[in-house]
Chains A and B, each alone.
Chain A
């Protein structure tokens, strides 16, 4: 009996020491410069997706540069909305950051109440871009963009175009394209890029507006009809842009990092330079290109300008599309 009491006593003492140590540490760590404890990197999409893989690629590099542990945390839901909403409610001390996407964070609040507003997302950096392109299967009877458009004109609604999610960049692209060719298509939303591509490869939908990295992965099985970019995409040099074919449309998904509103400028600067270091590495850029991404290195101010421009553009587009 005495022995177990002693054990219990030791256990309690241990716990007390821990708490005491925590108290001491608390006082000490407040004075050290940022960052002085672990940082949480929120990923707003499913594990295994592009955001997650990107985060895990960056994690060891960030830890080395910032000298603190970087912990990846998942807040999945609502096509990213849950994570971004949580971000805007987090403490703006620089210890919470999240991966974010343009145009998602612009389009979502425009369409419905998602619990956050676009200007609450404070961007720190954008590290890559995946432009969208219209593609059909290699076995499809449509050899050029014109074939597809003619068919669509003769059969409104018959041509199904797959995309990831509703009111996302993919949906926008389809709606804009619909307006430009003057006939109705059917947009079929999927819960992510992976189910979209699976269904497409199985021939259940006629075409897709796919992201460049997905298209690069399946390049043997598909025929890309046009890229929604300013210039030809380096990974597919033979494919004309939609602009060349008469449709002025530029659409893509940019991915970056954001922090909560009111985060101090010094903190943003530290994070920005960390990501800038990573983005400037040639091996990082090479990996991005191989995967079908366009590596970018846009810092805080640049991204803010870019977001402002895009917000104006999309607000206008959204108005125009509301019949």
Chain B
């Protein structure tokens, strides 16, 4: 099937069927129909949306008689390659539990590399052994993530060297410099951010015990550095390999990866760092001067405002699908469907689980992102038997001054958007980056460049990302209210060093007597340290 029209027709029919299945499943949902929002309503709504989208697409494709673009399906050997790789991945997942992570990792990496390129036996073995060791020592021993250990689980405390002693040694040697801890924090944070799925909140939670080994002020600085580092690491992979480190890096993928393919990865990474820096600065300025005013804005957002905001965010993104509005709508409904499966977040009632216990936990959006971007990107390259993910030579490591100036507007706008939206407790950073990207696309005079490597398309989400973190500190300092899990962990960490309680309460009592500004400035000045 090489024709776009026929494929659209087939896809439309399939999706319409999916919608019908959902509607059928929705009618099975038990629940109190007396409630204000009956449990069947949303599944029905999404089901109908899917059905309508699918039918609309099929009808439109059927009636279309214009120029028909071709779809590049792979050749037979491409299919085989994809198939084998998927099989290897499935085997990896299946064997991971019994054999343990390190061993399976080694086997998979060695096997997959050897399959992709028969000549690279040595590289395969080295990479296999290397990744197994890294998984074991870095993730299981140092970061203490509970991966299945398999037979190695009996290893207990016998390790060929002990991280505890090493770190204690570092702590002793380096107590004289806070800067170095910030450096370490940034590096580790970036590493965490680079891994898709482990976002800043998990990163901080994991590294918190290490920060307790060092003096408190350095600990705070290190935690902040980890947080910023993790946010930046996510954008690095988004630009270089089209894999967002976390949900908020997704818009960066769109133009960033395009730039990388044109050989301008350096410029993209550079503008990302610069934009983040500018946004961070503007954000801290906002924090210092406007914190008390803005904190009250944060509180003015109740459930109806959140709903309206999210709804707006969603409709902005759909409407920016350009001419493919129906497909955008279908994509949205698939996303909504995936999150409906599992339990109702408030009442805990199960729905759309078809009796499968595993589905009751619901589908986490990070796995969706990892699959949609990382895995599919690899599949696309596997199918082409690509030697490299892109072949162009680099054109320079940095963005040019002209480009930086062009992005100035984007940086300021996105900082503003990010800061204001970051204030709102519970507002995910992903939303702000999407909205910033969309706004930038709308106000730009050359919006057709977006999606093909427009540098403003990288500057905007990155700036918004960083500004959101700054904005998140407003309610944190004003009321001790964390706006998201990452900040909650940060708050926990800060409280364990005795910082937040004293500062928060002193500022609160002073602000309630009307002398808020000086107190806030003195409080936030300490955060500039």
Interface, chain A (partner B; CB < 8 A): 4-5, 7-8, 11-12, 14-15, 18-19, 21-23, 25-26, 29, 36-38, 40, 46-49, 52-53, 56-57, 59-60, 69, 71-74, 77-79, 81-82, 108, 111-115, 165-167, 188-191, 194-195, 197-199, 201-204, 217-218, 220
Contacts and interface: CB of A to CB of B under 8 A. Distances in A.
Nearest to A167: B348
Contacts of A79: 348
A204 B425 CA distance: 14
B346 A191 contact: yes
A36 B153 CA distance: 12
B489 interface: yes
A217 B480 contact: yes
B495 interface: yes
| Residue from B208, B347, B487 with most neighbouring chain A CB atoms (10 Å) | B347
Contacts of B146: 40, 71, 73
A34 to B, nearest CB: 13
Interface stretch (B111-119, B326-334, B355-363): B355-363
A56 B492 contact: yes
B76 to A, nearest CB: 34
A299 B425 CA distance: 38
Interface string B122-150: 10011001101100100000001010000
A111 B133 CA distance: 46
B155 interface: yes
19 contacts: A18-B136, A22-B152, A22-B155, A37-B157, A46-B485, A47-B202, A47-B492, A48-B488, A52-B492, A53-B492, A53-B495, A72-B205, A79-B348, A112-B350, A113-B350, A166-B348, A167-B348, A220-B508, A220-B512
* For the complex of A and B, 5 pairs with smallest distance between CB atoms: A48-B488, A204-B302, A26-B154, A202-B299, A11-B129
Contacts of B495: 53
B158 A202 contact: no
B384 interface: no
A292 B7 CA distance: 62
Given A26-B154, A46-B485, A77-B361, A7 B126 contact: yes
B345 interface: yes
B352 interface: no
A268 B9 CA distance: 63
B201 interface: yes
Given A191-B345, A199-B303, A21 B156 contact: no
Interface residues on chain B, size class: 35 or more
Nearest to B154: A26
B496 A48 contact: no
Interface of B: 103, 106, 122, 125-126, 129-130, 132-133, 136, 144, 146, 151-152, 154-158, 160, 201-202, 204-205, 208-209, 212, 298-303, 343, 345-350, 357, 360-362, 425-426, 475, 479-482, 485, 487-492, 495-496, 508-509, 512
A78 B155 contact: no
A198 B425 contact: yes
Nearest to A108: B348
Given A11-B126, A115-B357, A203 B299 contact: yes
A166 B125 contact: no
B481 A198 contact: yes
Contacts of A72: 205
Contacts of A7: 122, 126
B491 A48 contact: yes
A79 B346 CA distance: 9
Contacts of A115: 357, 360
B405 to A, nearest CB: 40
A72 B357 CA distance: 25
A108 B208 CA distance: 32
B126 A25 contact: no
B303 A59 contact: no
Contact of B154 (A25, A71, A201): A25
B346 A47 contact: no
A190 B302 CA distance: 12
A93 B514 CA distance: 58
A100 to B, nearest CB: 17
Given A21-B155, A29-B156, A47-B488, A8 B125 contact: yes
B122 A15 contact: no
Given A37-B157, A112-B348, A18 B301 contact: no
B346 A166 contact: yes
Contacts of A201: 299, 479, 481
Nearest to A197: B481
A59 B209 contact: yes
Contact of A25 (B158, B482, B492): B158
B205 to A, nearest CB: 4
Contact of A198 (B144, B299, B357): B299
Contacts of A22: 151-152, 154-155
Nearest to B155: A22
B487 to A, nearest CB: 8
Nearest to B484: A48
Given A199-B303, A204-B303, 13 more contacts: A8-B122, A22-B152, A22-B155, A23-B154, A29-B154, A47-B492, A57-B496, A82-B361, A111-B348, A112-B348, A189-B346, A195-B425, A198-B426
Contact of B485 (A21, A25, A47): A47
B485 A15 contact: no
B496 to A, nearest CB: 7
Contacts of B129: 8, 11-12, 14-15
Contacts of A74: 202, 205
Contact of A4 (B122, B136, B212, B482): B122
Contact of A19 (B133, B151, B482, B512): B151
A298 to B, nearest CB: 25
A11 B361 CA distance: 40
B306 to A, nearest CB: 9
A4 B129 CA distance: 14
A49 B125 contact: no
Contacts of A4: 122, 126
Nearest to A138: B512
B301 A202 contact: yes
A74 B492 CA distance: 16
A78 B299 contact: no
Contacts of A15: 106, 129, 132-133
Given A37-B157, A73-B146, A78 B360 contact: yes
Given A81-B348, A203-B299, A204-B302, A194 B481 contact: yes
